[in-house]
Chain A
Amino acid sequence: MPLEPDVYAAFESVVGLENISASPSITQIYAFNWGIELYNIQIGKDFTPFATVPAAVILPSTTEEVQKIVRLCNRYDVKFKAHSTGFGPWNSVSVLRSVVMDLRRMNHIVKIDEKNLFAVVEPYVTGAQLQAELMKYGLNCHMPGAGPQVSPLAAGTSMAGPGFTSPSTGYSGRNVLGVEWILPSGDIVRLGALGLRDAEKSDWFTGDGPGPSLRGIMRGYMGALGGLGVFTKAAVKLYPFPCTPSWQVTGNSPNYQFQVPDFMQYHVVDFKTYGEMEEGMRRIEEEEICFVCFHTSTYGLGAVFSHSIGSFIKGIPSTILVKHPIVIVTAARTKREFEYKEKVLASLLKQLRGQDLTASGKIVPKSVSYAEAIRNLLGFHGFLIGTSFQSTHGGMDTMAMCRNMIQANIPLKKGYIKQKVIGPDKGEGVWSTSYEHGHFFHAEMPSMYDQTDERSVRGMADYMQKCDELDFEKHFSLPFFVVGDSAHDLVGPLCSNYHLWLRKIKESLDPKNISDPGFYISSKAGGK
């Protein structure tokens, strides 16, 4: 649905001729994303990897431009969806007469406050870029599991938050301080101390207060996925670089060699039973010695340390006999710290009957796997075999709940594996990581499916629905992707009728649904 010429001209006057396009050569491309085919089936649409085509794509470069665009959207009743690097189906618009705001031009690291341990970033700063700059200060940041090529701002304000370094760097949503937030109305709210009107005195060091924290309205376990305005800057918490800050990569793709910094060590530990693995995760994390600590399946283990299908297949004999692995990386700044951590781990593994496959030489990650651990690239190996994957479940609470969820899922998943609609992993496919040294754990069950095969996609969609039902039936914590009106209306009554309150928030802040509600919730007034 094209925009009227005067409406288009209004947007163009904000960003300039080069930074807006309604050409299908642009808009059709923005209608495509990872997982759209699955999402389309889930909402009863046709099998296609294309979502609704936006009327135009706009590239703002400043907060002021974003604000003007949002105000124009309100004036002309045009919906908008803003995204950063745009990875995932939730970046697409859900209704016609929408514009996409691609925030690519907003890619500045505004400030690194070395002493007070936060960095202020714009939306298109990627995790890898930020980490590379922070390393110069001996610092690090949390990165979401989607990879280092996505945006810490987007993860912190609008999306989920698990990452491979979560044991030591937490969850994206809990790593956010001050935020500059353009509401769907076009008003700018600056959270926390950033909200002080005197610009000389305002700063990013806290995003909470005065009084109630609007961070709680901004996002939850999951962010609003573009349904509650645009975030143009955010301060993210920083962490110490886990070991000596140096980054020496040599060689050629994919066989890069990384000069592993002093005092960093992988341990791939196997446990015989789920119960032992659960206890292992919990007890190891209590000791606060891990930079990385996650449980995966045997196939997941193989994928994480392979860089080609060939090496994945070759690695199967050494991983197939592994039962319930936990992948650990210890890292330290000094030798004595490292020795302590290694000693504690060794002693604990003895008590817990965990078999250290790395120490015994059975699974020895390559040097580049250390780089990938730091750079949070391990999860992307899930795409190695050349299909798509999507995760089911994703609830977060205790390791006991995660383990129960993992085990409950196995027979369900096996049924779909048998139908050959999803990849075979004995039903055990999982990524479960600790947060904040074992205070929380989440588990998601990644499943491979062929996004070009309608039968596989329908099977996967069906399986995902059954996984949600399993979570509700067994009272596990809510899965990640309870988003969108129909999901909220279904799940809300099971969970304190939260959907009624969430909808009130949307009604209050965006009665006309100007900020695309497709992956959030819509206001009654605006309808679907």
Chain B
Amino acid sequence: MNTGNVLEDYEKMAAKCLRCSFCKFIPQVAIKSQEFSTTCPSIDRYNFHSYSGGGRLVMALALLTNRLEFSPDVLDVIYKCTACGGCDVACKYLNRLEPLEVIQAIREKAVEVHAGPMPAHQAYTQRVQSAHNPYGEDHKRRFAWLPDDVKLSDNASVAYFVGCTSAYRRKEIAIATARVLGAAGVKFTILGEEEFCCGSPLLRVGDRKAFEELARHNIEALQRRGIRQVVMNCAGCYSIFKVEYPHVQNYGFRVYHTSQYFAQLLRNGKLKLATPIPKIATYHDPCHLGRCAEPYKTWRGIQFKVLTFIQLAIPPKPFLRGNRGVYGPPREVIRQIPGLKLVEMERNQEYAYCCGAGGGVKAAFPEFALYTAKNRLREVKKTGAEILVSACPFCSTNLQDAIRETGEPIQYFDISELLLQSLPKGGT
């Protein structure tokens, strides 16, 4: 989030870390088993305390007090983290720190002093700058996935922002989304070559400047076309648009994730689901649709102390705990699919375990990304689910990579794909 803070602003806060280890586990009252009690993939994998939310808080303090410098080892700690916010949610149950803000601030400082990000991140940043997507794919083919029979509407006020991963790697999600929108009679358009990477992969690794350029471009492209509603199936894009873009530039359109949009369409009777899917499914909350998707207003006000130490603010400072993420709509959609039984994983909603892909990890540390996804798959398996549903193409890629590697008999579908399957005649 854009708090307007830089790393130096967090020195006092970092010194207040209690090293209580809350950040390593889901909120303590939510723990239902030992196996699924942890929240931080980083320390789960690497075990040294530095690799936890609290560890990175202390790392910030050590950097600020010249006990550390941005060495390769320090960068290793900083970037072997999906910035999933699990530590943030757990810490804030009873503490008043901002681990995720500090992780972001360290990364931005690393980039500022040209120590970071990792070479893999630098490579994809260059690809974004040249090809407008981190995969280095041909920008002109960004919408090559679009089926011929999907009708676009040039003057539509609804735009489908596809996102790089759906466009180039998870085309089945893009196709499904387009077909579902079509089946619902939604008149929508696309930005075509004007759609650039949303900038999330750049911001997450600390390159705020490059991100802001992309943000401005996308906002202007949408505003120019008079778009009133932007729908996106990527949680990463959603979170960036919803939470970060307003701090770069104001915009007048409403942002929806497809799960929210589809839920609305179902409620309004625009979508009729007919084909049963008689399976057991479980839903994985993408971090960027859940706990990292809370809109944030930059706080301006006054701070003062009462009772000697209690810091108060007027107006109250927003304290994001992940409880206003998009949790209801995906479940609402899934529950309306005939025949499908939804079983929750132990770690869900704001304390869902990360899929492992975000924060630049998939690019720089693919083995770690897969490790995390396999952890999540164990939890999926425990539910007895045959289908794993989620709502983010990046989660889709990483979780399916894990399914393939482990050979688990689990099918993965995006929400859009399940909906499409359940539409009469498969939505065609």
Genuine A/B complex? yes
A residues contacting B by CB (< 8 A) are 18-19, 21, 23-26, 28-30, 32-34, 37, 49-50, 57, 59, 85-88, 102, 104-105, 109, 125-126, 128-130, 132-133, 146-150, 247, 249, 252-256, 258, 307-310, 313, 368, 371-372, 375, 377, 380-381, 383-388, 417, 420, 422-424, 448-452, 456
User: A128-B31, A256-B29, A256-B30 known; 13 other A-B pairs, CB under 8 Å?
Assistant: A26-B48, A49-B15, A126-B37, A146-B20, A249-B32, A309-B311, A380-B20, A383-B95, A385-B96, A385-B309, A386-B16, A422-B308, A456-B309
Cβ–Cβ < 8 Å partners of A133 in chain B: 33-34
Query: Which of A87, A368, A417, A422 gathers most chain B CB within 10 Å?
Result: A87
Query: Which of B24, B37, B48, B321 gathers most chain A CB within 10 Å?
Result: B48
Expressed in whole angstroms, the minimum distance between the Cβ of B257 and any Cβ of chain A is 18
Cβ–Cβ < 8 Å partners of B349 in chain A: 252
Indicate if the CB atoms of A450 and B309 lie closer than 8 Å.
Answer: yes
How far, in angstroms, from A308 to B327 measured CA to CA in the complex? 23
Closest to B71 in A: A25
Indicate if the CB atoms of A309 and B310 lie closer than 8 Å.
Answer: yes
From residue 135 to 192 of chain B, which have CB atoms closer than 8 A to chain A? none
Cβ–Cβ < 8 Å partners of A149 in chain B: 20-22, 24-25, 28
How far, in angstroms, from A381 to B67 measured CA to CA in the complex? 31
A-B contact pairs, 27 of them (CB 8 A): A18-B46, A19-B47, A24-B74, A25-B73, A25-B77, A28-B58, A34-B20, A49-B15, A85-B21, A87-B21, A109-B34, A132-B37, A147-B20, A249-B30, A249-B32, A252-B322, A256-B29, A256-B30, A375-B29, A383-B94, A385-B307, A388-B18, A417-B308, A420-B308, A451-B16, A452-B12, A456-B309
How far, in angstroms, from A250 to B117 measured CA to CA in the complex? 39
Indicate if the CB atoms of A86 and B19 lie closer than 8 Å.
Answer: yes
Expressed in whole angstroms, the minimum distance between the Cβ of A156 and any Cβ of chain B is 18
Q: Identify A87's interface contact among B18, B37, B322, CB under 8 A.
A: B18
Indicate if the CB atoms of B94 and A307 lie closer than 8 Å.
Answer: yes
Expressed in whole angstroms, the minimum distance between the Cβ of A169 and any Cβ of chain B is 17
Expressed in whole angstroms, the minimum distance between the Cβ of B301 and any Cβ of chain A is 14
Expressed in whole angstroms, the minimum distance between the Cβ of A273 and any Cβ of chain B is 25
Tell whether B341 is near chain A: CB-to-CB under 8 Å: no
Indicate if the CB atoms of B47 and A423 lie closer than 8 Å.
Answer: no
Cβ–Cβ < 8 Å partners of B48 in chain A: 21, 26, 29, 57, 59, 102
Indicate if the CB atoms of B323 and A308 lie closer than 8 Å.
Answer: no
Closest to A107 in B: B34
Q: Identify A34's interface contact among B19, B34, B309, CB under 8 A.
A: B19
Q: Identify B37's interface contact among A24, A129, A147, CB under 8 A.
A: A129
Indicate if the CB atoms of A309 and B312 lie closer than 8 Å.
Answer: yes
Q: Identify B47's interface contact among A104, A258, A372, A422, CB under 8 A.
A: A104
Cβ–Cβ < 8 Å partners of A313 in chain B: 306, 310, 312
Contact A384:B94 (CB < 8 A) given known A49-B15, A368-B29: yes
How far, in angstroms, from A380 to B324 measured CA to CA in the complex? 24
Q: Identify B92's interface contact among A253, A423, A424, A450, CB under 8 A.
A: A253
Q: Identify B310's interface contact among A19, A25, A104, A385, CB under 8 A.
A: A385
Query: Which of B55, B67, B94 gathers most chain A CB within 10 Å?
Result: B94
How far, in angstroms, from A309 to B314 measured CA to CA in the complex? 13
Indicate if the CB atoms of A26 and B50 lie closer than 8 Å.
Answer: yes
Tell whether B380 is near chain A: CB-to-CB under 8 Å: no
Tell whether B367 is near chain A: CB-to-CB under 8 Å: no
Tell whether B17 is near chain A: CB-to-CB under 8 Å: yes
Q: Mark B91-110, 1 if CB is under 8 A from A, else 0.
A: 01111100000000000000
How far, in angstroms, from A313 to B321 measured CA to CA in the complex? 19
Closest to A146 in B: B20
Cβ–Cβ < 8 Å partners of B34 in chain A: 109, 125, 129-130, 132-133
Q: Which 8 A-B pairs have the closest CB atoms?
A: A252-B323, A386-B96, A129-B34, A25-B73, A23-B73, A29-B50, A34-B18, A128-B31
How far, in angstroms, from A310 to B89 measured CA to CA in the complex? 18
Cβ–Cβ < 8 Å partners of A387 in chain B: 16, 309
Q: Mark B36-69, 1 if CB is under 8 A from A, else 0.
A: 0100000000111110000100110110000110
